[in-house]
Copies of this chain bind each other. A is one copy, B any other.
Amino acid sequence: MAQHLRQVENALDRLLSPHAPPGSAWAAPADLNDAMRYAVLDGGKRLRPLLVLAAFEAVHGAPASDADAAPMRAACAVELIHAYSLVHDDMPCMDNDVLRRGKPTVHVQFGQAGALLAGDALQTLAFEVLTPLDARVDPAVQARLCAILARASGRVGMAGGQAIDLASVGQTLSEDSLRHMHQLKTGALLQASVMMGAACGTASAMALQAMEAFGQAIGLAFQVVDDVLDVTADSATLGKTAGKDADNDKPTYVALMGLERSRAYAATLAEQAHAALQGSGLADTAALAALVNRVIHRVH
């Protein structure tokens, strides 16, 4: 996992290099590139990229270390989408947050217009990364990865979940509605990470089904733990403002079922994720299992 983390950091750093990207006559404007780098580098747990790489290795039994091959591209693309969503969510018109990954948020550092544009360009870059101009990635894989990522991050995925979140301030949601919101807002991209790892090659129907169940369980578990941490951790440990959900009167699992039942629910979801791996018929799911434990036992 440490090796994957290093490889992801290197790949992201290269993608956001200040020089002209391959095939372009121009480099990105320096202000914009600086804001994009600030939003992506030096921080982040990289959970989504790690899920992509671990799922690829579990399903295809091959190492995912080549920075130009599909798995590392998919890993970077999901992280770029995640980073763009944080930049926009932190803006004053959304959650109006000033602290992220222990640093001032992008709009504090680069202004609102700078943050808006950096987020926009990070989203675009995700699809650029998935579609290299050389022939080193099978076009069918490129198309499949774009298809999964776009659906998980758009109107019936992450952005849709964010819209429900906005409309839910001050509301009491049923458990079904809360789960629906989180499946879209956070779950869809986490599940997509796993599915994109599998989609970097030809996967069996059984493996795909296992990855789908695994992705769904770990996606929801992540959000339940997030709600717990918002109540139990302090801002210094989280690297972002703690207690924000209650302050903003947002519906959460803790608000719905209390702290203890939320913790128990996260543990149940973790068991479901492990069970999906055990039933998958795949030989080496140790890295995916380790990521479940990381999600459940994380402190930030």
Interchain CB contact (< 8 A) of A29 among B33, B117, B124, B163: B163
Indicate with 1 or 0, residue by residue over A128-160, a CB within 8 angstroms of chain B CB atoms. Answer: 101111000001101110110111011111011
In the bound complex, how far is the Cα of B130 from the Cα of A230, in angstroms?
38
Indicate with 1 or 0, residue by residue over A201-222, a CB within 8 angstroms of chain B CB atoms. Answer: 0000000000000000000000
Interchain CB contact (< 8 A) of A140 among B88, B123, B133, B139: B139
In the bound complex, how far is the Cα of B154 from the Cα of A28, in angstroms?
9
With both chains docked as a complex, state the minimum distance between the C-beta of A73 and any C-beta of chain B, in angstroms: 12
Q: Is A164 an interface residue (CB 8 A)?
A: yes
Q: How many residues of A contact B (CB 8 A)?
A: 59
Q: How many copies of this protein are present in the complex?
A: 2
Residues of B contacting A105 in the complex (Cβ-Cβ under 8 angstroms): none
Q: Is A62 an interface residue (CB 8 A)?
A: no
Q: Mostly helix, strand, loop or mixed at chain A's interface?
A: helix
Interchain CB contact (< 8 A) of A139 among B21, B143, B151: B143
Residues of B contacting A147 in the complex (Cβ-Cβ under 8 angstroms): 128, 131-133, 142
With both chains docked as a complex, state the minimum distance between the C-beta of A223 and any C-beta of chain B, in angstroms: 17
Report yes or no: B156 in contact with A117, Cβ–Cβ below 8 A: no
In the bound complex, how far is the Cα of B58 from the Cα of A266, in angstroms?
58
Q: Is A112 an interface residue (CB 8 A)?
A: yes
Please, which residue of chain B has its CB at the minimum distance from the CB of A29? B163
Which residues of chain A (89-128) have a CB below 8 Å from chain B?
91, 93-94, 111-114, 116-117, 119-121, 123-125, 127-128
Which residues of chain A (145-192) have a CB below 8 Å from chain B?
146-147, 149-151, 153-157, 159-160, 162-164, 166-167, 180, 184
With both chains docked as a complex, state the minimum distance between the C-beta of A140 and any C-beta of chain B, in angstroms: 4
Report yes or no: A121 in contact with B88, Cβ–Cβ below 8 A: no
Interchain CB contact (< 8 A) of A116 among B94, B140, B164: B94
Q: Is A27 an interface residue (CB 8 A)?
A: yes
Given A127-B146, A147-B131, the answer on whether A113 and B154 have CB atoms closer than 8 Å is no
13 new A-B contacts, CB < 8 A, other than A29-B164, A117-B159, are: A20-B156, A24-B151, A26-B160, A33-B155, A88-B117, A93-B116, A121-B160, A123-B123, A124-B159, A127-B150, A128-B147, A131-B147, A133-B147
